[in-house]
A = this chain, B = another copy of it.
Amino acid sequence: MNTLGRIFRLSLFGESHGPAIGALIDGCPAGVPLSTGDFVADLTRRGPGANGTTARRETDAVRLVSGVFRGRTTGAPILVEIANADVDSAAYAALEDLPRPGHADLPAHHKSGGHRDHRGGGASSGRLTAALVAAGVVARRALEASFVAPIRFEARLVEAGGSADIEAAVAEAARLGTSIGGVIEGRVTGLPIGLGEPFFDTVEGLLSHALFAIPGVKGVEFGLGFQFAQESGDECRDAILARGGRCQRNVSGGVDGGMANGNAVCFRLAVKPAVSFGELRTVSLSTGEQRVLAMSGRHDACFARRLPVVVEAVSAVVTLDLMRLSGRVGEVVGASEGLSRD
């Protein structure tokens, strides 16, 4: 299912080399100020940067097809469309028969009974993260316009190729013609205490569910995460300092028993390096023979650098849905009691 959320619901569509990609967003409150200009900053952050990143130029202008009237959301479904401008499918012809290791190519081939769109990763392309970013913009605008205390979403790359000196590590990888992965730290502040559910719809479960949709993410941990496994109970104990839940160390990363506990929600993501460059060993889907696929052209030396804005977007989408589920954000913003009254 290509839909996330229960009330604030996000569905993606589109293929890397089709006419457009985008998002259908349902359950956004009415009355949220929204225009195409709101999307520019975040989509630019996601776009290709200066050194070491892909040469593909994506203008990523959004088209608001529905759900917005006179500069405000109406509560009706919002269709955000982003045209695919710079499409060069020829470079991908070989991938039809030769799936790249570490990519969706082979499972997508089987899943679709051979009917996938193979060009540029098709429906599995990282290109669709632009739609995630667009949805994050809507979610943040809706949270800002609602009568709730401010909720902030921050993510940043804290480590690349094992080093905290990101720029140096990326430059070195680019120089060597290779690529590196990284660790992204995410932080959500301002969540009301008690948000989330004890079983299944835990804050950790909902966030990780959504974050694993970001191509390249292979691990998620909260608070001390894997470090917990090394420590004893004495060492990783926390102390509650105030009724509002403030803890001394926040070892739980802001979530206890699946619910926001009054501290910042802190998580870390493992992002793998790009692997599709140089010569790749694979098989022919038509003949089954082992083959070498020579990749030419562009690859990101560290595509993890482009993901923090996506992580923030996904966090905002999950949060708005939780806020709607709990009743803290209703159908209309701007009404004095959170909802229009008759």
Contact = CB atoms under 8 A, between A and B. Distances in A.
Interface residues of A, number: 166
Contact of A252 (B102, B241, B260, B278): B102
A106 B15 contact: no
Copy number of this protein in the oligomer? 4
Contacts of A282: 239-240
Nearest first, the 9 A-B pairs at minimum CB distance are: A104-B257, A327-B330, A111-B194, A219-B221, A239-B281, A113-B332, A76-B123, A179-B233, A107-B259
Interface stretch (A35-43, A51-59, A222-230): A222-230
A85 interface: no
A122 interface: yes
Contacts of A339: 192, 326-328
Residue from A247, A252, A272 whose CB has the most chain B CB atoms within 10 Å: A272
A180 B233 contact: yes
A92 interface: no
Interface string A10-30: 011111001111101011001
Contact of A159 (B101, B181, B221, B229): B229
A204 interface: yes
Interface string A274-315: 110110111101001010000000010000100000000000
Given A21-B66, A198-B108, A340-B111, A222 B229 contact: no
Contacts of A237: 101-102, 275, 280
A195 B194 CA distance: 27
A101 B63 CA distance: 34
A338 B342 contact: no
Residue from A101, A206, A290, A341 whose CB has the most chain B CB atoms within 10 Å: A101
Nearest to A223: B218
